[in-house]
């Protein structure tokens, strides 16, 4: 198992390799983080139990981290918190290590990831596409394997939409389970702290550790025991008319997820979700937007000269739009929402969750720039109603369509968080473990191909002593691994977990003379890996004596 110090060294190497400065608003000095990691390693070695020992975390920059400014995406708004937000503090107590603060749609207002003076955050898979927001940097940091988990916030879908667009898990807990103390409010009564992860189990562990009242946040609530999931749970899906307008291929991908659940014994029922979609429109189209005005409206109103250079004009327009709302309209909208909730949830009676696509499309940066408000409004079709109705939700990756991630979402009652996680495990696409030994290793020039295919780093390991490694004459340089009957050596490599769909993409990009096969490991297990056809090793230098590709490369630069 890797030490925390080793993980830090590799993480900063990946950050440099990724060259995505727009992800970070503040990144801690590597030497400071390394010293903290060394302390974690020492505590573990002394026998201390730390459930998140060495887990690397990025934090959305509207959540306080002591020692780093909180900007909420606006340099002029920045302040220096004296203490961590409780959510951050609880992760750190459990052994997690914060690397830095991430970019966001300013004041958490948006689902696109482009509304920031620190620059738009590009998608982890395709840099011409949006990352989704508002928790844009947090999602991409996880998707690119720069950190293990990250914290976001979610008011309208900000903890779910970026997860879907970057092929990762987004966990939106019931409002109040995780304290929102130390979080710059977007809509105080609706905001919740969320988690992004590549692994659902790790993400859920982080949620459980952060949960519980802190004595400060008045909206905190104590979790309720989850009812056992039925052997044949009932899940609702929208009728066809409410799946209209999805991006090309997404409707078919959604049908595939439904079929997958049915084959797992889940009962599927179609329901008319019109009341839920009508409620979603109230979040920005009604008086509820005035809560955003209450949060940061005074700051924007008092600094008109900053609109443009510092304050995003679209954000300013949305936030100040609440000034036109009245208390009378709020109570009218509150009554409308209550009636829509009664009708909408009544139609789901007997279903443990509603399954939908997480969002409706994946636009380019140019498409959002051309129509910033219209493009954004399409993103929240299935997410906007959840917090208005006090619901829990979980976004999980569900395959690849047109070379980009496709994701689905489970929405359930308040405190159904653990139940949604059980169902989510049925949805997550099958994956397989793959050994890489050369140019696809962490920090090497082709590692980005693994990351783009949705891979997650698992561990460092060695092969059984049955292989020889050769330096092939390729660009970029890479080795060939050949199994031999005798005279083999253990070769150092890394195991990455690839979604089945991502594996297909990855293999399709492999040039000859590479061939897929089973690689035996030193612990007696076997994983999928890539061996070189013997025809390519003739005349190539045998570098097995170095024990691994990196050690061989070091000799070339010594």
β-strand 97-102 against 56-60: which pairing, if any? parallel
E-strand stretches of 447-548: 456-462, 467-472, 478-483, 492-499, 514-520, 526-532, 541-542
Buried b (16+ CB within 10 A) or exposed e, 351-367: bbbbbbbbbbbbbebeb
* 80 is annotated as an active-site residue: no
Strand partners, 470: 480, 542
Please give the angle made by the CA atoms of 124, 444 and 36, to the nearest 5 degrees. 80
The residue among 283, 286, 306 whose CA lies nearest residue 296 is: 306
Of 131, 134, 135, 442, which residue is the catalytic one? 134
β-strand 353-357 against 234-238: which pairing, if any? parallel
| Strand, helix or coil for residue 543 | coil
Q: Which two tokens stand for residue 512?
A: 């000859």
Of 60, 101, 172, 341, which residue is the catalytic one? 60
The residue among 437, 449, 390 whose CA lies nearest residue 415 is: 390
CA pair distance 348, 236, nearest whole angstrom? 7
| Strand, helix or coil for residue 3 | coil
* 134 is annotated as an active-site residue: yes
> How many helices (H) and strands (E) would you count in the chain?
18, 19
Q: Which two tokens stand for residue 467?
A: 């292989």
* 392 is annotated as an active-site residue: no
CA pair distance 365, 115, nearest whole angstrom? 11
CA pair distance 59, 40, nearest whole angstrom? 19
Of 116, 135, 150, 158, which residue is the catalytic one? 158
Q: Which residues are tagged catalytic?
A: 60, 134, 158
């Amino acid at each position: 198992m890797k030490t925390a110090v080793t993980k830090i060294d590799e993480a900063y190497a990946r950050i440099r390799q990724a060259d995505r400065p727009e992800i970070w608003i503040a990144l801690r000095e590597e030497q400071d983080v390394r010293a903290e990691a060394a302390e974690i390693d020492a505590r573990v070695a002394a026998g201390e139990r730390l459930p998140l020992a060495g887990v690397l975390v990025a934090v959305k920059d509207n959540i306080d981290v002591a020692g780093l400014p909180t900007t909420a995406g606006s340099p002029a708004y920045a302040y220096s918190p004296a203490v961590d937000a409780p959510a951050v503090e609880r992760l750190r107590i459990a052994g997690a290590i914060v690397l830095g603060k991430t970019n966001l749609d300013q004041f958490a207002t948006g689902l696109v990831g482009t509304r920031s003076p620190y620059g738009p955050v590009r998608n982890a898979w395709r840099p011409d596409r949006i990352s989704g927001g508002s928790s844009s940097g947090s999602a991409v940091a996880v998707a690119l394997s720069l950190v293990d988990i990250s914290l976001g916030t979610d008011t309208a879908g900000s903890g779910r939409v970026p997860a879907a667009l970057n092929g990762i898990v987004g966990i939106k807990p019931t409002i109040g389970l995780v304290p929102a103390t130390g979080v710059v409010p977007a809509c105080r009564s609706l905001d919740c702290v969320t988690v992004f992860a590549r692994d659902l189990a790790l993400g859920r562990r982080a949620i459980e550790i952060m949960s519980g009242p802190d004595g400060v946040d008045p909206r905190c609530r104590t979790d309720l025991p989850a009812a056992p999931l039925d052997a044949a749970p009932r899940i609702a899906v929208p009728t066809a008319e409410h799946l209209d307008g999805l991006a090309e291929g997404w409707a078919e991908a959604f049908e595939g997820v439904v079929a997958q659940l049915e084959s797992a014994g889940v009962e599927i029922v179609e329901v008319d979700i019109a009341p839920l979609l009508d409620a979603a429109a109230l979040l920005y189209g009604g008086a509820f937007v005035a809560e955003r005005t209450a949060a940061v409206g005074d700051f924007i109103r008092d600094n008109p000269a900053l609109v443009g250079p510092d304050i995003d004009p679209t954000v300013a327009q949305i936030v100040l739009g609440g000034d036109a709302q009245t208390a009378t309209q709020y109570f009218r909208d509150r009554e409308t929402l209550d009636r829509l909730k009664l009708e909408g949830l009544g139609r789901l009676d007997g279903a443990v969750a509603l399954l939908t696509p997480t969002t409706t499309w994946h636009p380019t940066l140019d498409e959002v720039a051309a129509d910033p408000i219209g493009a954004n409004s399409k993103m929240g079709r299935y997410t906007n109603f959840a917090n208005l109705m006090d619901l829990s939700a979980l976004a999980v990756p569900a395959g690849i369509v047109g070379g980009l991630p496709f994701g689905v979402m489970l929405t359930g009652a308040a405190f159904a968080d653990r139940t949604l996680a059980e169902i989510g495990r049925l949805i997550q696409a099958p994956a397989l473990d793959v050994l890489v030994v050369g140019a696809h290793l962490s920090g090497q020039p082709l590692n980005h191909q693994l990351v783009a295919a949705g891979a997650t780093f698992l561990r460092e390991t060695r092969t059984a002593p049955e292989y020889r490694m050769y330096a092939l004459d390729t660009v970029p340089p890479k080795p060939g691994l050949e199994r031999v009957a005798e005279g083999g050596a253990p070769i150092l490599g890394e195991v990455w977990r690839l979604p089945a769909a991502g594996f297909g993409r990855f293999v399709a990009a492999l040039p000859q003379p590479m061939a897929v096969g089973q690689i035996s490991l030193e612990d007696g297990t076997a994983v999928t890996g890539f061996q070189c056809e013997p025809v390519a090793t003739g005349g190539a230098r045998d570098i097995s004596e170095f024990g691994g590709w990196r050690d061989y490369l070091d000799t070339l630069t010594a």
